[in-house]
Amino acid sequence: MADTSSDEAQVLSPLTDEEQRGLRKQFGDAYVKAQETFDSSVRALAAGGVGVTVTLATALEDFPSAGVIAVLLFLLSLASNFVSFATAQRDVRLRIQAVWARDRRAVFGNAWATATLILNTTAGATLIAGGGFLAYFVASTV
């Protein structure tokens, strides 16, 4: 039987400086990769949504309001995604400056990080809503 008290003590003990540096890098790298994947997925899907909607409208020679709303939502998703890139860059610049200034509080977040989160949420939500309107557009014209 394993000694759970020593395992528990190890889990509850503070991280060493080396562990902390390693975990920061690991989590930072994972965050960057997830952000890149999210951004490229949203761009591809939203651009595809615009293309599919406009192509269908052209083929059907009809562009009802559901199709127009779908295109507008996909475009809003793309715009939010592109603006979030700029806010993320500003966030990183300020965090780098905070590291040089040894400003611990600013290293862990700022208004630009919050803006990026809001824009990413908007990009995802409008992408999903655009897909819903595209589905409605297709269903209502067939």
Residue 67 near residue 57, CB atoms below 8 Å: yes
The pLDDT of residue 22: 81
* Tokens encoding 40: 């490229």
Q: Is residue 10 part of a domain?
A: no
Q: Is residue 48 part of a domain?
A: yes
Q: Is residue 7 part of a domain?
A: no
Residue 81 near residue 41, CB atoms below 8 Å: no
The pLDDT of residue 72: 94
Predicted TM-score of the model (pTM): 0.75
Q: Is residue 12 part of a domain?
A: no
> Which 8-state DSSP code applies to residue 15?
P
Q: Is residue 4 part of a domain?
A: no
Q: Is residue 73 part of a domain?
A: yes
Kindly give the residue spans of alpha helices, DSSP state H, lying in 102-110: 104-107
Mean pLDDT per 10-residue interval, the chain, length 142 residues: 62 74 79 84 89 88 90 94 90 83 80 93 95 92 78
The pLDDT of residue 116: 92
Burial readout 22-57 (b: 16 or more C-beta within 10 A, e: otherwise): eeeeeeeeeeeeeeeeebeebbebbeebbebbeebb
The pLDDT of residue 100: 81
Neighbours of 90 (CB within 10 A): 16
Q: Is residue 6 part of a domain?
A: no
The pLDDT of residue 9: 62
Total number of domains in the chain: 1
Q: Is residue 9 part of a domain?
A: no
**Residue range of the domain that includes 49:** 18-141
